[in-house]
Structures are given as structure tokens and as C-alpha cells.
Amino acid sequence: MQLVLEKRAERSATIALISPLIAIGLTIATLCIVFAVLGKNPIAALAVYFIDPLTDGYSLQEIAVKATPLVMIAIGLSLCYLANAWNIGAEGQFLIGAVAGSWLAVKTQGTDAGHWVLPAMLVLGAAAGALYALIPAICKVRFGASEILTSLMLVYVADLLLDYLVRGPWRDPQGFNFPTTAEFDPVATVPTLIEGGRLHLGSIIALFVVAAGAVLLGRTIKGFEIRVVGAAPRAARFGGFNANQLVLLTFAISGALAGLAGIIEVAGPVGHLQPGISPGYGFTAIIVAFLGRLNPIGILIAGLFLALTFIGGEQAQIAMKIPLDVTKVFQGILLFYVLACDSLILYRFRLISSSPKVQSGAH
Amino acid sequence: MGLIEAIILSVLAASTPLLLAATGELVTERSGVLNLGVEGMMIVGAACGFGGAWLSGSIIVGALCGMVAGILMSLIFALMALGLAVNQVATGLALTILGIGLSGLIGAGFVGERITPAPHLHIPGLSDIPLAGRILFGEDGFVYLSIALVVGVWWFLYRTRAGLILRACGDNHVSAHALGYPVLRIRLYAVMFGGACAGLAGAYLPLAYTPFFIPGMTAGRGWIALALTVFASWRPARLVVGAYLFGAVTILQLHAQGAGIGIPSQFMSSLPYLATIIVLVLLSRARTGGSTAPAALGTVFVPDR
């Protein structure tokens, strides 16, 4: 038996639509095996993971809160990936955005600064994220250095910078030596949408980002250029599109969105700057982007789904003592299945039984 | 033991996992496959390597466990990137994400445990020569193995027919296929070799570098190994230079921190990462006359029948 790929005459539209669902189904099946290996009842564990969080208001809000940064970052990443520019350092851009915005919050702390503080923080966060993302983009465009490696290295640098700031100059003097800034003032905090709830303004901003992404990709020339440069670089050259400029542009947009997500997370749900503000949002967003088929609406749905796995994972840890790492394994397996199913769009898989001799002769 | 000697010994120790992982990746990339999952294969190798050594009490069993784990991880990659013709960059990222989660699951039972680290060679007389003795004849076995591995890979790539065919697959898979070479099978072996090396490199960390396992202990070394293959222009000899340079940067920043100079430790810790970026920029810039990368690196190959 041998697996052979046959190129389809054209992309299969049906499979393009259902492939994420096949991937999720396969992942859940695999997850059952993981649960069984860990000695847990798979059905009960699945219920805790995927059903329970949907049944109470608090968890539903929490899903929206977790989906907010994932969706915002993934929209930016999808632009990069469509243009065939590999920004995998969104985690670092997220942290830098959080740091830059927090700078203003820390500096205005205890002063009678007005309501301009939060908008200024958001702008700072987005700008810092964009600039940070431009470093690997410029290194690629000007010097040809692999943006994959440079953007990833900058994640570690951003992490260390944040760590230095909250242990050093920005540490809360009343914080019992914990590495954290003081709680931000109310004017430096993202307002919640429901009194006493967790849902905050950032989720609305994320919806705007989704809409803007859809317009950019579907209705503008720039969006068209981005897709052509990625899908058919030669055609793009003939069309006179500037590929380098698009690398810079997509990196800057994705960096800005990641930075914005970072400062919203810090000024919103977290409320102060500290290490560990991100449970890997920047990396999970890569999965969100692919699961959403690099399509804004798809990303919104995929972001909510992966947020569900974060919340479900936490609840499974509390209720059934299932390690948190299962969530990461789940996310990794999911990405594999998504990519494998995407291959179905372009190829037909065929199992061919033939004598190996004939096969090796044909090769 | 003098300070200089101590520094050189620790540089060799810090460089060895980079050299092991980068050597494996070099062979993989020479066959035309870009496996970005080195970090993931390493961290699973570290968890399985430590688990194997802790359960069996044998460093060798631990190292073998790490290698097997690395190979199994690389087989997932091969199935996806070679079997199903999936984008190699995305597959490699997925492998790293999966590896970080898996290593946490596997290693959860071992966190906080200690083992006796790999013994260092001791040849009476030779190892006692001042300065050079400890450095040349007093390392742990992995250090010698890593150097033997690079020499072996150099010999294989440039002095054997099989090595020539492997390089041909990496430079032009269509021609190699037309000549009748099984491109995908050759790439499968290269990917598996890379997995074994990455697994061993990961296992080195808890078996010899620090005698315990902590989640995330590879700390980006897999990514630095990837950068090293670029640094080395895909040549084994330059890989040795690069790995020891990076090891030296790692150790010097540790010593600088220990010496208590007034620079915050986080800035010193970020040096290896910043150095990677700078090196990548300088090297890519120096190469005006075309790239030295294998021509077919990272491209999907689907044989037509």
C-alpha cells in the first residue's frame, strides 16, 4: 500500500469549507485517546472541556475575553501569511505593545491625568508593536535575513525586557517585592461592558478589527495585492506589485494589532503589567489564523473555539486534575490536522496497492 | 581549576546541544527540507531523555530515549511535509507547539527529580595535564560524540555517493527524481536523522548540562540551532565555529552576570538572541552573489507518476 497525492484540477470549494470541521473532529478523537491514556473518562473530560464553559455566563464572558487577543493577533498574522511573509514573533510584539502602553500608565499613576490616558496607551501599544515587527521585516527586505528566525528571537528579547522593567524601575513599591507594577488608575483601564463583569471594550475593538480585515482583503486593491503576492509571486511581479513593500506593510499591521492586543490585555483583564501576561497568545494565534483559513470571519470563529479550549482546559484541571499541558497538546494536534486537511483542497489522497518493484521503477 | 579553564569547559558544554541539533538540521536542510520543529523535537527529547535516565538509572538509555523521541517527532513532520505535501514552515511551527505541550505532559512526573549527570572522561595522566588536559581529555561523552558527528556528516556529504545524492535532492528535486532517485525516501531519512540529533541535543540538557528537567528548558536553543545552519552556509566545518561562538556568548554573559557588573541580568540574557539576529543580518548582507542555501530548500515536492 502506498499513499499517493494527485493534484486536483481546481481547488475543491466544498473541502475548503468543511476541512476545519474535519480537523476539529479528528483532534477531538485524538484527544479522547490522550484522556484515556491519562486514565480519565474521555466523555466526561470532553464535556468539561467543550460543553461546561458554554453553560454559564461567567465562562462565556471569559471565552470572549480570551478570544479578543487571539482574534486581533490572528487577523494581522493572516495578512502576513497570505503575503507569504512569516511573522511568528507576534508573542513578542504583543509583549512590547503591553510594555509601551504600560509606560504611560505607570508615568501618569496617581496624577490627575484625564481620560486621554487610555486612548494614548492604545496608540502607544499599537505603534510599539508595529515598530517591533518592522525590525524583522526590514532585516528581511534590506538584508535578506530570514524573518522567521529574527521575529522569533525578538520574542525572547521582549520577554526579558518586560521582566527587567517589572522587577526593576516599574516595580510597585507597595507590591511586597512581587514583580509587578501597581494596579493601573481607572483612567488607564479598559472599561468593562457589563457592571461587575469581565467582558470589556477590547472585544468590541476586536470585532472592528475583523470587519476592517474583511474590507481590506475583500474590497481594496492593497488586499488584492497581498493575496496575489502570496499566491502567485511571478504574476505579482508582472503586475508591478512591490513585494518588499507588502512585507513591510503586513508586518507593520500585524505588529500593530498584536501590540494593541497586548496593551488591551494589560489595561483590561490583567490590570497591571507583570510577567506571564500571555499564555502564549502570539503562538496560539498562529493556529487561529490557519484554522480560520486566513479569512477574517473564519478567524473570529476559530478564535472563539481556541479560547474555549483555554477555558475548558482550566476547568478540566480544576475538576478532573487534567494537566494544563493537554491544552497545548490539543492545540498542536489541531494545527497538524488543519494543515493536513488543507492538503485535501489541493490534492486527492489515494492509497494504491501495487508491488513495490513497479513503484520504485516508476520513481 | 583556573577561571579560563572553567570558562572553556562551560563553553564546550553550552555549545554541544547547539552543535548536535544544528548538525542534524544541516543534513535535513541539505536534502531540501526545512524543519522548523527543532525546538519541539529538542524539548521532547529532553523530557524523554531525562525520564529514560531517571527510570533506568543509565545515561545511555536516557540518551537513546531522547533520540527515539526525536525520531518519532520527526516522523510526524515527515508524514505531513513529505507525505501530504503540507507547507513546511507551518508544519514545523506545529511540531514545536505540539512538542512544548507534550514535553510538559511527559515531564510532569519528573520535575524536581535529580539524576547523576553524565560522567566526564578521565584518563590518568592525560586528563591531569594543566589547562589542556581537562579540556581535551576530561569532557563528557556527548562533547566527543558531537564532534565525531560533525566529522561524520562532513565525510558523508562530501565524500560519499549517498551524500552527493542527498545534496542533489536538496538542490534540484525534479532532476534528482528524473534520474530515478527516490527523493521523498531520501528526505525521510534526512528528516529522521535531524530528529535523532535534535532529540539527543535535547536529552543532553538534563543528562549532562543540568542534572534535572524543567519545562521549557531548551529556551530557544532549537531556534538558535536553525540560525546556525544559516550562519554556517550549510557547511559542517563552519557549523563548529558557529556553535562554539554561540556557546561562548551564552557563557560570557553568565560570567558577566556572576561578576556583578552593573548591567541588568535580563540584558545580558538577551545577548544570545540579539547576537543571532545580528549574525543573520550580517551574513545575509554579505552574500550578494546569490544564496548559498540548498536551492530546493523548503519547497514542496510531489512526484508525478
Highest mean predicted confidence (pLDDT) among A35-49, A185-199, A293-307: A293-307
Pairing of strands A347-352, A2-7: antiparallel
Grid cell digits, residue B17? 546541544
Residue A47 has a CB neighbour count (10 Å cut-off) of: 16
The CATH number covering residue B49 comes to 1.10.3470.10
> Pick the residue with more confidence: A107 or A1?
A107
Number of domains in chain B: 1
CB contact under 8 A, A339 and B264: no
Predicted pLDDT of residue B304: 72
B96: in domain: yes
In this complex, the residue of A3, A152, A339 whose CB is nearest that of residue B90 is: A339
Q: A15 Cβ partners below 8 Å, 6+ apart?
A: A341, A344, A345
Residues of B in contact with A167 (CB under 8 A): 266
Give the minimum alpha-carbon distance from B62 to chain A in angstroms, rounded to a whole number: 22
pLDDT recorded at residue A1: 62
Within a domain: residue B293? no
Is the Cβ of A80 closer than 8 Å to some Cβ of chain B? no
**Chain A residue with minimal CA distance to B174?**
A363
Structural domain contains residue B303: no
CA–CA gap between residue B33 and residue B188 (Å, rounded) = 9
pLDDT in tens, A58-107: 889 999 999 999 999 999 999 999 999 999 999 999 999 999 999 999 99
CA distance B177 to chain A (A): 7
Q: Would you identify the CATH topology of the domain A61-309?
A: ABC transporter involved in vitamin B12 uptake, BtuC (1.10.3470)
Among B293, B274, B225, residue whose Cα is nearest residue B36: B225
Arithmetic mean of pLDDT, A131-144: 94
Q: What domain range includes position B19?
A: 3-286
Residue B51 lies in a domain: yes
Contact B223 A153 (CB under 8 A): yes
Which residues are within 8 A (CB) of A292 and not within 5 positions of it... i.e. 6 or more apart? Answer: A20, A74, A78, A298, A299, A300, A301, A302, A303
Inter-chain CB proximity B220 and A153 less than 8 Å: yes
Question: Closest Cα of chain B to A55: distance in Å?
Answer: 27
ipTM: 0.87
Q: Do B182 and A343 lie within an 8 Å CB cutoff?
A: no
Contact B234, B26 (CB under 8 A): yes
Calpha distance A231→A84 (Å, rounded) = 8
A286 shares contact with chain B (CB less than 8 Å): yes
Chain B residues near residue A88 by CB distance under 8 angstroms: 93
**What mean pLDDT is reported for chain A?**
89
In this model, does residue A363 exceed pLDDT 50? no
Please check whether residue A4 touches B, CB under 8 A: yes
Q: Indicate whether B115 belongs to any domain.
A: yes
All three cell numbers of A179, joined, read 514583580
Helix or strand (DSSP H, E) at B275: helix B271-286
| B230 domain-assigned | yes
- Domain-embedded: residue B298: no
- What share of residues in chain B are helix, strand, coil (percent, to 5)? 70, 0, 30
**How far B125 CA lies from chain A's nearest CA (Å)?**
44
The residue assigned the cell 503591553 is A98
Q: Which of residues 66-95 of B touch A (CB under 8 A)?
A: 76, 80, 83-87, 89-91, 93-95
Q: Which of A141, A149, A321 should be substituted to probe chain B, the one whose Cβ sees the most B Cβ atoms within 10 Å?
A: A149
pLDDT averages per 10-residue partition of chain B, 305 residues? 78 93 96 94 96 91 96 95 89 92 88 81 74 73 92 95 94 90 94 97 92 88 91 89 89 77 81 88 69 81 76
Residues on chain B touching A324 (C-beta within 8 angstroms): 104
| Residue among A253, A203, A196, A258 at smallest CA distance from A226 | A253
Q: Inter-chain contact B280–A139, Cβ cutoff 8 Å? A: yes
Rounded to 5 degrees, what are φ and ψ at B120?
Answer: -95, 145
Task: Specify the higher pLDDT residue, B7 or A210.
Answer: A210
Contacts 24+ apart (CB under 8 A), A341-345: A341/A15, A341/A19, A341/A20, A341/A22, A341/A23, A341/A26, A342/A19, A342/A290, A342/A293, A342/B86, A343/A5, A343/B84, A343/B85, A343/B86, A344/A12, A344/A15, A344/A19, A344/A22, A345/A8, A345/A11, A345/A12, A345/A15, A345/A16, A345/A19
Q: Which of A32-36, A267-271, A356-360 has the lowest mean pLDDT?
A: A356-360
pLDDT of residue B127: 72
Contacts of A149 in chain B (CB under 8 A): 223, 226-227, 230, 276-277, 280
Q: Do B97 and A331 touch (CB under 8 A)?
A: yes
pLDDT of residue A354 exceeding 60, the answer is no
pLDDT number for residue B290:
55
**Residue from B1, B20, B5, B3 nearest B243 by CA:** B20
Lookup result for grid cell 555549545: B15
pLDDT in tens, A228-278: 888 888 888 888 888 899 999 999 999 999 999 999 999 999 999 999 899
Q: Which residue has the cell 453553560?
A: A55
Measure Cα distances from A56 to A62, A63, A270, A303, A310 in Å.
Answer: 10, 11, 22, 19, 16
